[in-house]
Amino acid sequence: MIFSACPAPILDHKTVVLGHGSGGKLTHQLIQKMIVPAFQNPILEAQHDGAILPMNGGRIAFSTDSYIVHPIFFPGGNIGDLAVNGTVNDLAMCGAKPQYLSASLIIEEGLPMDDLWQVLSSMRAAAERAGVTLVTGDTKVVDRGKGDKLFINTSGIGVVRADVNIDPTLAAPGDLILLSGSIASHGMAIMSVREGLEFETPIESDSAPLNSLVERMLEGGSIHVLRDPTRGGVASALNEIAEQSRVGIRIDESRIPIRADVQGACEILGLDPLYVANEGKLLAFVPPDQAERVLAAMRAHPQGTESTIIGEVVTDHPQIVVMRTRIGGNRIVDMLSGEQLPRIC
Amino acid sequence: MIFSACPAPILDHKTVVLGHGSGGKLTHQLIQKMIVPAFQNPILEAQHDGAILPMNGGRIAFSTDSYIVHPIFFPGGNIGDLAVNGTVNDLAMCGAKPQYLSASLIIEEGLPMDDLWQVLSSMRAAAERAGVTLVTGDTKVVDRGKGDKLFINTSGIGVVRADVNIDPTLAAPGDLILLSGSIASHGMAIMSVREGLEFETPIESDSAPLNSLVERMLEGGSIHVLRDPTRGGVASALNEIAEQSRVGIRIDESRIPIRADVQGACEILGLDPLYVANEGKLLAFVPPDQAERVLAAMRAHPQGTESTIIGEVVTDHPQIVVMRTRIGGNRIVDMLSGEQLPRIC
């Protein structure tokens, strides 16, 4: 109660701006200065994609995400399957086997019932694909102009095997950094629709569940860190891990796969694909003696055929991500500052 | 996947209207015709306040709720403590001991940081009071005019003791119906602010955690059904239970406690207090031989000093709630139809 009397922490902004939702520096500042201090506990401070909790003698992972993507329908998916895949993936990134999901809808008055049905159907199909069950839910309606068609929160629970220990603080010098496929497809699918870019074939979101890929990887070898580079892209994910593990990271631009059409769309819109969201890709930090087997397990899985080693963890430049560029120079890859792609997920 | 091709179910409305969020008939129709068929599984069909799930050899309860209350600050609380108490209570209504909560914020661009801090501080204080830990979260920002200051989703996990079996289908003829205190305070606190009603002392929301009250009640005796009458009020809660248990319910108007100022505000606004939301009260269906001990346990708890028996379960008129009025007549208490109080929680 004494805490309630504390003055608000001082941030760079006096009101919330869109950039606070971008997944970059401002989001980080908001979480570090407002959310974590407000709730202060070791589990939250771990800042994993989900929380790992003791439960009935075992361990479970628990994760939550609200989806506000605009538009709600886009090439390759809609807000419904995105919401299911996103929480399934957050649980998988904790090394958990996702089991149960909740779904909570905030509907803007006027949403056509047919649109709602299509979203719900996609959620069901995505849940079936990922092998999870939607067990509880909630429905709220807000007046026209006080929402934007549909927001969805999904929360999820998964079981963590006793022998698994995956955590963003565990990246260690020497670890190799594996990426499960080409980057930036989700963000560019959304941006292409919003900006009215026309391609011969529309860029499709990579929205997909990663839990069965992770299961195979865990059979392949031990893993230190897993992260799905969503909001803020690969660059923000790597910066977060470098910071939390207090290590340096080196990556090689030429090894990062990107589809030609996605690259083209990024160039047209002046966006750096390293900062663009993915919804069906993962980064894995793996000890060097395990990397070959984990990589083989990834490539043998339909979700990971394009998997590749993009870099390594180093003792130099702790908490800094450095990229060797295609033309041979070195560039610091900072965390996204401000707002690049609002409402991408 | 075949399911996705199914046509949308036909509802009375072609688009979502505010009444679909009221907790009454339209909400019911939306859930029964759209949500449950879309996700179809026995756990969801149970339509408990939360889902009871097997986990690591024991049972857990899992619940979710999104809060869209307008205004976000009101006498007796704000959207933050409401969001914590609401999910704590949903878990308690499953007979679970709430342990862990997630918090997911959808912030409208422009929200003052001081307001955000006040809400977060209230969430923390409410979590401490209820003895739960906020372990994971998410923050999203929507553009101005695409949200309304702040929406909060909380999801929660609790442990269900092996000897507890509370379920909305278990109301049995002869059960006595216990109510933990005076009704309609939360809804009227919100409506008084919105309508600018002035009282000597403002009506305060009853927002409070009910988990420790439930713990005491379970020590007192066995309980068939617990329900916190939130959206749609006592009338909707009783109708839901009558329907799910396929029993009749009789209540006595003169036994339902209501504060004079709340009653007055209801009369001014033409609202029936039976349909107005509560956020710190519960209904318990208790076998007659247990009722005295459970009632004593309730009255001995600070949250239940005004507890009283308001009615009983009967074999007559299955699925119908009948109220003996103050003037001695009988009246059918139907489920709320349409929209009475939008955005109350």
Structure token digits, residue A59 = 């361990």
Which of B99, B138, B144, B231 is best to mutate for the A interface (most A CBs within 10 A)?
A: B138
Amino acid at A153: N
Q: Give tens-digit pLDDT for B261-287.
A: 999 999 999 999 999 999 999 999 999
- Do A16 and B114 form a contact (C-beta atoms < 8 A)? no
Total number of residues shown for chain B: 345
Cβ A127–B66 below 8 Å, yes or no?
Answer: no
Report residue A3's pLDDT band, with 50, 70 and 90 as the boundaries: very low
Touching check for A9 and chain B: CB below 8 Å? yes
Among B3-7, B123-127, B142-146, name the one with the lowest average pLDDT. B3-7
DSSP A201: S
Cβ B142–A116 below 8 Å, yes or no?
Answer: no
Mean of the pLDDT values across residues A45-54?
85
Mean of the pLDDT values across residues B170-195?
96
Cβ A133–B65 below 8 Å, yes or no?
Answer: no
Report residue A21's pLDDT band, with 50, 70 and 90 as the boundaries: confident
Chain A CB contacts of B136 under 8 Å are 43-44, 48, 50-51, 62-64
Among A36-40, A265-269, B57-61, name the one with the lowest average pLDDT. A36-40
| Residue B252, C-beta contacts closer than 8 angstroms, at least 6 positions apart | B310, B311, B323, B324
Q: What distance in Å separates the CA atoms of residue B218 and residue A87, rounded to the nearest whole number?
A: 34
Question: What is residue B2's predicted lDDT score, i.e. its pLDDT?
Answer: 41
Percent of residues in chain A assigned helix, strand, coil, to nearest 5: 35, 25, 40
Question: What is residue B339's predicted lDDT score, i.e. its pLDDT?
Answer: 65
Shortest CA distance to A66 belongs to which of A131, A188, A151?
A151
φ, ψ dihedrals at B225, nearest 5°: -140, 140
Question: What is residue A338's predicted lDDT score, i.e. its pLDDT?
Answer: 67
Touching check for B125 and chain A: CB below 8 Å? yes
pLDDT at B12 over 80: yes
Q: Give tens-digit pLDDT for A246-265.
A: 999 999 999 999 999 999 99
DSSP B164: -
Q: Give tens-digit pLDDT for A152-167.
A: 999 999 999 999 999 9
pLDDT at A208 over 80: yes
Q: Which of A4, A18, A56 sits opposite B122 (nearest CB)?
A: A4
Q: What distance in Å separates the CA atoms of residue B343 and residue B345, rounded to the nearest whole number?
A: 6
Cβ A106–B151 below 8 Å, yes or no?
Answer: yes
Helix A211-220 with A288-299: angle, nearest 10 deg: 140
- Residue B31's alpha-carbon distances to B11, B27, B40, B289, in angstroms, are 11, 6, 11, 36
Report residue B47's pLDDT band, with 50, 70 and 90 as the boundaries: confident
- Do A210 and A280 form a contact (C-beta atoms < 8 A)? yes
Question: What is residue A230's predicted lDDT score, i.e. its pLDDT?
Answer: 96
Which one is predicted more confidently, A338 or B256?
B256
pLDDT at A23 over 90: no
Q: How does the average pLDDT of chain A come out, rounded?
A: 94
Question: What is residue B36's predicted lDDT score, i.e. its pLDDT?
Answer: 86
For a pLDDT cut of 90, what percent of chain A falls above it? 83
Report residue B338's pLDDT band, with 50, 70 and 90 as the boundaries: low
Shortest CA distance to A154 belongs to which of A31, A35, A69?
A69
Question: What is residue A339's predicted lDDT score, i.e. its pLDDT?
Answer: 65
Query: Considering only alpha carbons, which residue of chain B is nearest residue A65?
Result: B138
A163, containing H or E segment: none
Touching check for B117 and chain A: CB below 8 Å? yes
Question: What is residue A241's predicted lDDT score, i.e. its pLDDT?
Answer: 97
φ, ψ dihedrals at A174, nearest 5°: 100, -25
Query: Considering only alpha carbons, which residue of chain A is nearest residue B162?
Result: A56
Total number of residues shown for chain A: 345
Among A141-150, A190-199, B98-107, name the one with the lowest average pLDDT. A190-199
A292, containing H or E segment: helix A288-299
DSSP B7: P
Among A15-29, A101-115, A230-244, name the one with the lowest average pLDDT. A15-29
Q: Integer distance in angstroms from the first to the last C-alpha of chain B?
A: 35
pLDDT at B183 over 80: yes
The complex scores an ipTM of: 0.95
pLDDT at B41 over 90: no
pLDDT at B252 over 80: yes
Interface of A with B in 41-60 (CB under 8 A): 41, 43-44, 48, 50-51, 53, 55-58, 60
The Cα of B326 is separated from the nearest Cα of chain A by a number of Å equal to 34
Q: Is B315 exposed, middle or buried (0-12, 13-18, 19+ CB in 10 A)?
A: exposed
Question: What is residue B1's predicted lDDT score, i.e. its pLDDT?
Answer: 38
Amino acid at A274: L
Report residue B3's pLDDT band, with 50, 70 and 90 as the boundaries: very low
